[in-house]
Amino acid sequence: MGIRCTAEAGVAVVTIDFPPVNGIPVQGWFDLADAMRAAGQDMSVHVVVLRAENRGFCAGVDIKEVDGDPGAMVAVNRACHAAFGAVYDCAVPVIAAVHGFCLGGGVGIAGNADVVIAADDATFGLPEVDRGVLGAATHLARLVPQHLLRAMYYTTETVGAQQLHQYGSVYRVVPRAELDAAAAELAGRIAAKDTRVVRRAKEAINGIDPVDVHRSYRFEQGFTFELALTKEGGRHEACGMPGEGVGPPRRG
């Protein structure tokens, strides 16, 4: 249980494993950030596959750690910012292999990955508004068009992997049983390239990104604190997700 990392033939596989729904605790987010940084710093690693066990890819934060605790809210916001940023800044390409629900913090991870491969049961969304918090619109904006982003954010509805595939933000949709193999096949093709060139390519692409994802996400997080301080928000989940032992929210 926790964040695990293995590496073979130039491919590092980072696995999220916090049963039953991958509601990640504060330390888990920091561990994910550390794993992504370490993988990128290892010159024998050419590409990272970021995957998960359990019922879904990620249900966001473990709310048991933050509900009603302002100090914990600060910690989890810093932890999410560190993890999302480490995925984006990883020195090598990151492939997110997504199954089941990808909510809140899960969108933060997938949205900052270089490539997303999804199982045909994967759904993506942000229930933040229903939780009285804000965040990860920065990352959802990397997956869906602007007006759909707004509709999803205000209504908290989810979209499926096939729809994202039509937008080009999901590279491939496969049956759940084939997800790991599909991610490994793509990772192998990237790993076969000259890692010096691919690392520079990753740096170059990040350098021309029109949105500074670090600053953009921190800007969003500020409104969560504003809502909390003025008591206008609902439950104070910094990434707005159901935690361990709580199923993903129902969506229209």
Average pLDDT on 145-166 reads 98
The CB-based long-range contact list for 74-80 (8 Å cut-off, 24+ gap) reads: 75/26, 76/26, 76/29, 76/238, 76/239, 77/135, 77/221, 77/224, 77/238, 79/26, 79/27, 79/28, 79/29, 79/30, 79/33, 80/29, 80/105, 80/108, 80/135, 80/238, 80/239
Residues 222-235 have pLDDT tens digits of 998 888 788 655 44
Percentage with pLDDT > 70 across the chain? 90
Name the token pair of 53: 């066990």
* Extended beta strands in the chain, E state: 2-8, 11-17, 23-24, 47-52, 60-61, 94-98, 101-103, 115-119, 123-125, 159-160, 172-174
Residue 71 CB partners (closer than 8 Å, separation 6+)? none
Q: Higher confidence at residue 8 or residue 229?
A: 8
Which residue in 113, 111, 159 sits closest to 137, CA to CA?
111
At 46, which amino acid appears?
Answer: H
The widest CA-to-CA distance across the chain, in whole angstroms, is 53
Q: Any idea how long the chain is?
A: 252
Q: How confident is the model at residue 64 (pLDDT cuts 50, 70, 90)?
A: confident
Residues 194-228 have pLDDT tens digits of 999 999 999 999 999 999 999 999 999 999 888 87
Residue 151 has pLDDT above 50, yes or no: yes
Residues 78-115 have pLDDT tens digits of 999 999 999 999 999 999 999 999 999 999 999 999 99
Domains and CATH numbers, the chain: 2-229 (3.90.226.10)
The chain-wide mean pLDDT, for the chain, equals 91
Q: What is the pTM of this model?
A: 0.91
pLDDT at 68: 62
pLDDT at 249: 42
pLDDT at 62: 85
Which residue in 139, 140, 150, 128 sits closest to 238, CA to CA?
128
Contact, 67 vs 234, CB < 8 A? Answer: no
Sort 216 into a burial class: Cβ within 10 Å, 0-12 / 13-18 / 19+. middle
The separation between the first and the last C-alpha atoms of the chain, rounded to the nearest angstrom, is 32
pLDDT at 239: 42
Residue 245 has pLDDT above 50, yes or no: no
pLDDT at 236: 40
Per DSSP, the three-state class of 25 is: coil
pLDDT at 97: 98
